[in-house]
Structures are given as C-alpha cells and as structure tokens.
Amino acid sequence: MKHYLFTILTRDGEHEYYDKWLCTVHKKTVLSDLDIIVEFTGTHKEDWEEPYPCVYESTYDYRHYSIHSREEVEPEDLKVLERYGI
C-alpha cells in the first residue's frame, strides 16, 4: 500500500480553504483528481462537473474543489503525520 498526502483547495465564493488529507491507496491504483475529490467529500462520481480545467463542482453544491498538491508519504513519516492529526 502507498500513502499520499493531498492538499485540497476549496473555493467558497471569495474565500479559499486548504485541507490536508492523508489517503491510503493500493499500489496499482491510479487516482484522478476527480477520484480524490469524490473520496475526500464522500459523494458520488456522477454528481460532479468540471466547469474549468482541473476544477470540480458538485451539482448539489456551489463550492469549487481542486487538487493543490499530492505527495507520496514514506512509511516512517506516517506516525508523525498521525500525531499531528493529519
């Protein structure tokens, strides 16, 4: 298994929010930006549109989501990230 630390950008009108999210994926799994956002928000893939390149919007929400960064996390770094609540 591989672990990734994603930084997800949420635009809410005039405000921007950055969330850090630690995700575990199987080694052979390739996740698109939309797959990551669907997992992060807990919604269905059919509920999303791409109004701008690499920016996604749910049909039930006015917020825009995009992946700001993704980093593979080494196994020895997992305990440190979990200690800080990520």
Q: Using one digit for the tens of pLDDT, what is the confidence trace for 22-68? A: 988 887 777 899 999 999 999 999 999 999 999 999 988 889 999 99
Q: How many C-beta atoms lie closer than 10 Å to residue 7's C-beta? A: 14
Return the ∠ at Cα 38 (arms to 35 and 39), rounded to 5°. 85
Residue 84 falls within a domain, yes or no?
no
- HSE-up (13 A, CA, CB side) for residue 26: 2
- CA proximity to 1, closest of 72, 86, 67, 77: 72
Domain count along the chain: 1
> Quick check: is 40 in a domain?
yes
The per-residue pLDDT for range 6-20, each reduced to its tens digit, is 999 999 988 999 999
Q: Is residue 86 part of a domain?
A: no
